[in-house]
Amino acid sequence: MARRKYVVGNWKMNGLSASIADARAIFAGVAGHPAVDVALCPPFTLLGAMAAVPGAVVGGQDCHRAALGAFTGSIAAPMLADAGASLVIVGHSERREGFGESDGDVRAKAEAGLTAGLSVILCVGEPRDVRESGSAIDYVLAQIAGSVPDNFDPQRLAIAYEPIWAIGTGLVPTVDDVAAMHGAIRGALAGRFGAAADAMRILYGGSVNGDNAAELLGAADVDGALVGGASLTSAKFLPIVEAAAVLG
């Protein structure tokens, strides 16, 4: 089935109120590419302001597994929705590694996002030593088995394959390695969800930029990109959206 290309910017812990001007420029440019789905995930503090930008589609970078309660400093999925978000990223490696989140935690967060009516981007990806040992596919498929929920609308859950060693490093896997991983992920999803898995998008993330986007987005089973550093300005982000639009 034809899946719409999906390009998502993850601003991580970057952006002050002045950065809304960058989001404005990005969504103004995105308006020229209606066949591509584009979203930005700013820090929580900018969600409301960014959601008010014309044409904006915004998401959170994480959520708590509970809908409310005594969890100082945390943000619940219904709060993201209330602030104008339509999606949430869960299981980013910077959360799995930096905050000790397990597959079970990630699954609970994905379920919380879906229950709150959000779309979910669920991240997986192997560290460098696992890639070098030749077991990257087994590692990622175990993450998928442990963190993807059972019951959901397949249109509302995307997987982002982000090899940890490629994040923020300028290193990217070969297109063949990306295609092999995405094919393995698609096979695992099809094995678990049958034909419904056809509707699930699988994004690549890790040092995507305007120069490599066409090649990476053109690989088999790559339905889009999750972009960090190159999503902060329109000058860097729009060429990636344009590459996706050409591949349509």
Question: What is the distance between the alpha carbons of residues 80 and 98, in angstroms, rounded to a whole number?
Answer: 22
Residue 228 CA from chain centroid, whole number: 10
Catalytic choice (126, 162, 182, 242) = 162
Question: Any idea of the CA torsion for 192, 198, 199, 203, to the nearest 10 degrees?
Answer: 90
Phi/psi at 218 (5° precision): -85, -5
Q: Decide whether 42 or 228 has the Cβ nearer to ligand 13P.
A: 228
Q: Which helix (H) or strand (E) holds 111?
A: helix 103-115
Task: Report the residue closest to ligand 13P, judged by CB.
Answer: 228
Least Å from the CB of residue 182 to ligand 13P:
16
Residue 92 is a catalytic residue? yes
SS3 207: coil
158-217 residues near ligand 13P, rule: CB under 6 A = 162, 167-168, 205-208
Q: Decide whether 74 or 212 has the Cβ nearer to ligand 13P.
A: 212
Binding-site string for ligand 13P from residue 119 to residue 158, where x marks contact by CB under 6 A and - marks none: ----------------------------------------
Q: Decide whether 82 or 97 has the Cβ nearer to ligand 13P.
A: 97
Number of H-type helices and E-type strands within the chain: 10, 8
87-126 residues near ligand 13P, rule: CB under 6 A = 92
Q: Which long-range contacts (CB under 8 A, 24 or more apart) does 216-220 make?
A: 216/172, 216/175, 216/178, 217/5, 217/243, 217/244, 217/247, 218/175, 218/247, 219/175, 219/178, 219/179, 219/182, 220/179, 220/182, 220/183
- How many residues form the binding site for ligand 13P (CB under 6 A)? 14
Question: What is the distance between the alpha carbons of residues 90 and 80, in angstroms, rounded to a whole number?
Answer: 13
Site stretch for ligand 13P (CB under 6 A), options 77-85, 135-143, 177-185, 226-234: 226-234
From the list 229, 232, 241, 242, which residue makes contact with ligand 13P (rule: CB under 6 A)? Answer: 229
Catalytic choice (92, 101, 111, 126) = 92
Decide if 35 contacts 3 (C-beta within 8 A): no
What is the Cα gyration radius of the chain?
A: 17
From the list 37, 228, 237, 244, which residue makes contact with ligand 13P (rule: CB under 6 A)? Answer: 228
Q: Decide whether 168 or 194 has the Cβ nearer to ligand 13P.
A: 168
From the list 217, 227, 240, 241, which residue makes contact with ligand 13P (rule: CB under 6 A)? Answer: 227
Least Å from the CB of residue 98 to ligand 13P:
12
Q: Where along the sequence are the contacts to ligand 13P (CB under 6 A)? A: 10, 92, 162, 167-168, 205-208, 226-230
